[in-house]
Structure 1
Amino acid sequence: MEPVVVDITQENAQQLLIEESKIRPVVVDFWAEWCSHCKTLTPLLERLAQEYNGQFLLAKIDADEQQMIASQLGVRSLPTVMIFKDGQPVDGFAGAQPESEIRQLLEKYLPEPWREDVNQAQMLMSEGQFTPALEPLRSALAAAPESSEVLLLLTQCYLELNRLDEAEKCLESIKMVDQDDVYKTLLARLELQRESAKSPEVEALEQQLATNPEDANLKLQLAVQYNQSGMHGDALELLIGILRKDLNFQDGEAKRLFLDMLATLGKSDPIAIKYQRKYYTLLY
């Protein structure tokens, strides 16, 4: 487990103030035994460090013992607090401050809460667990709907699971300015998987349906093929079209396949939610 509170000396200052601050914010507390306000502020910072559980590192510097460091950083009074990020001091304050203001200051530099979901998902993905990774990624996307990082990770999961419609929807949601090399790689992979999914059976059924667009049997057969090829949105659209005209088509076979697909996609899947609503409108 990463430390949450450390003491800074000449020996570890470079590593903790510069290198560590490239990984997470480092809150530097300059204090001294004779400083009365320090006796209130330092315990408060220590409590916050424990509460935030490693989201930032509290680095304490005894200004009397480490006068060179204090002088190099321009400390003129105690207590002084500095926030280091990416190797540089970016903010801070001098003197006693209320807890509410300190929390407000910290929140500006702490990682967003949804990043924990992203970290969890990446760990699962590294172990090949792509289905379990979907839940934390969807949670992250709900909190940060425009995050290209989250959308790209979701795309990767969907491609691994051969859920091509969901992968395409994620890629379509990424802003042009964020369409980097990773985006282009995943887009090319999606197109390749779509081409692979176009079996001779699928192409033959599509041609037949184009000639006979009202043939429910053809729609059902093509929906089965689409589902097997990861084209879940296309499959559900065909099935809902059948169910609008006959809820019990082929002794309920179309409804069974439709509901099985929704269950497989999961309750939080955007495509599943869309077609669940359409299905409810048929029932009520």
Structure 2
Amino acid sequence: MEIIGAGGQPQTQPQAGADGDGLIREGTDQSFMADVIEPSKTVPVLVDFWAPWCGPCRQLTPVIEAAVRAAKGAVKLVKINIDENPGIAGQLRIQSIPAVFAFQNGQPVDGFMGALPESQIKQFIARLAGDVDEGAIEELIARAEAALAEGDLGGAAQDFAQALQMDKESAEAIAGLARVSLISGDADQARALLDSAPEAKKTHPALASVRASMELAGEVEGADDLAAAEARAGKAAKDPEAQFSLARARLAAGDMTGSVDALLASITLDRDWNEAAARQLLLRIFDAAGPASELAKTGRRRLSSILFA
């Protein structure tokens, strides 16, 4: 988007009214090129569109000013009163205030509307400045994982998405959102999220785990009814095929742990049955659960004790 000053001629001199450290200034339509566009080529510039009659604007202004000063030069702030300077706000099609736009390299790249809490404003600035708060991201992902374990897909998706906003290359956040989509039955969206991962992160264990989960979905197509499989396995306790069928039925029912138990039982009976089908499915389950998961670690120890006994 090209931004021009009023009358098509930007001022070359900055508008008076900057604070002492030069991080915050009052801007106008005429000074927009000098106050925002040019400086944004070296440092991100936030533009706060406000008006004297706007209550939320008065609430936001001191918070965003404090956050900008705390960033110590990582970003700058320009405040524009839209009552006196409607031109740029009109070009950006701003319909409600407060509205904050972030400019980098002469272009608007991000923004928000409304009086956000201080913590979210700090995260917004940190993201622009490339200062990723790893601790905050880890906390969000841990909370999202807990929500996912409790079946709270909405809460998990919100926290994974916020983590991804803070670090757009977070493999854990991308994988988390993909898993939410997969559990919700939207395999296409899950696949699109996996494809969106940066090339350098595509082999990350978290993403590999989701891919393995998607492959497992195909494994359970046509699986036996769980009750029928349980009954058959009970009558044929020494039949590796019956145990394998039980494992597939449990997996289709979402019981990974029970599926692992049945597969290990099948391998114990005949490790080479059907070209080692039980072992191959077991390893795919470990991949889907994640290499660091307790299910995978315990299961691999049990498998080793069978194979190398």
What is the TM-score normalised by the length of structure 2? 0.36
What is the TM-score normalised by the length of structure 1? 0.39
Of Structure 1 and Structure 2, which has the larger fraction of its residues in helix? Answer: 1
